Amino acid sequence: MTEVEKQNEENQNKELTSILVDPENFNVKHKLSSKWTIYYDIPQQKKSTAQTWQQNIKTIASFDTIEDFWGVFNSIPPVSRIAPSSSYFLFRHNIKPEWEDKQNEEGGRWAVTLGRMGSKIDEYWMNLVLACIGEAFEFPDQVNGAVASVRTRGDRLALWTKNWKNEDETMAVGKHFKSLIGTEKLSFNSHEDGKQSSKAKERYIL
């Protein structure tokens, strides 16, 4: 028997241990339904253009298992501790966090401004992230990604959807999002609206 065959036999005979049994010495990972990537937007002194924004956004990591997700999120600062004017983006691995991505072109976003909430924003963000990677929405294919932003006037959360013209699915996604953050008011705009004007009237409000 070769060394490789011996190693394979040892691995097969090895007791399977999940992270729930041993958080440090586990050898079993649980697959997510989709692969996700988290990005960080580095704050800039000057107003950025679309080109400089693309240069400033940095990939932190990608993951497709529950264990790797916790490994990533436990090693980065919570939203409440990142620099003002910066953001986290969590998107499906094959979708970039920008309007120009083909899978975002027909989409929009549910958004909420929360005021400076301190650690409360961390709870809301984690609720949203877990709902995304756990495919907890009634129409999970409508969900492209989520954003957490720290701003001087108030922290913001947003949920990006795939096709805003499907009103029933868009509203269902929004209602689930609202259930994660309590009584805060949610508003929805298509990305097309946002391109035309930063002050476009909301299409939906919850």
Residue 79 counted as domain residue: yes
Specify the pLDDT at position 117.
67
8 A C-beta contact, residue 96 and residue 105 = no
* 34: its two tokens: 């989709």
- In angstroms, the CA 73 to CA 35 distance is 15
Global pTM reads 0.83
Q: For residue 178, give the CATH number of its domain.
A: 3.30.760.10
Q: Is residue 2 included in any domain, yes or no?
A: no
Main-chain dihedrals φ then ψ at residue 85, nearest 5 degrees: 75, 10
In one-letter notation, the amino acid at residue 14 is K
**How high is the pLDDT of residue 24?**
63
Residue 14 lies in a domain: no
Here the tokens at position 3 are 């060394």
**C-alpha span between 79 and 71 (Å, rounded):** 16
> Does 160 map to a domain?
yes
- Specify the number of domains making up the chain: 1
Residue 101 in any domain: the answer is: yes
pLDDT recorded at residue 4: 43
pLDDT in tens, the chain (206 residues): 555 454 445 555 556 565 555 556 656 788 999 999 999 998 765 555 556 667 789 999 999 999 999 999 999 999 999 998 999 999 999 999 998 999 999 999 999 988 776 778 999 999 999 999 999 999 999 999 999 999 888 899 999 999 999 999 999 999 999 999 987 789 999 998 877 766 677 889 99
State the residue range of the domain holding 67. Answer: 29-205
CA distances from 135 to 23, 32, 33, 52 (A): 24, 9, 7, 32
In a domain, 162, yes or no: yes
Is 8 inside a domain boundary?
no
- How far CA 48 is from CA of 25, 42, 43, 90, 147, in Å, comes to 45, 11, 10, 21, 18
Q: Does residue 18 belong to any structural domain of this protein?
A: no
Question: Residue 98 and residue 191: Cα distance in Å, rounded?
Answer: 10
One DSSP character per residue, 55-108 reads HHEEEEEEEEEHHHHHHHHTTS--GGGSPTT-EEEEEETTS-SSTTSTTTTT-E
What is the residue whose two structure tokens read 């961390």? Answer: 122
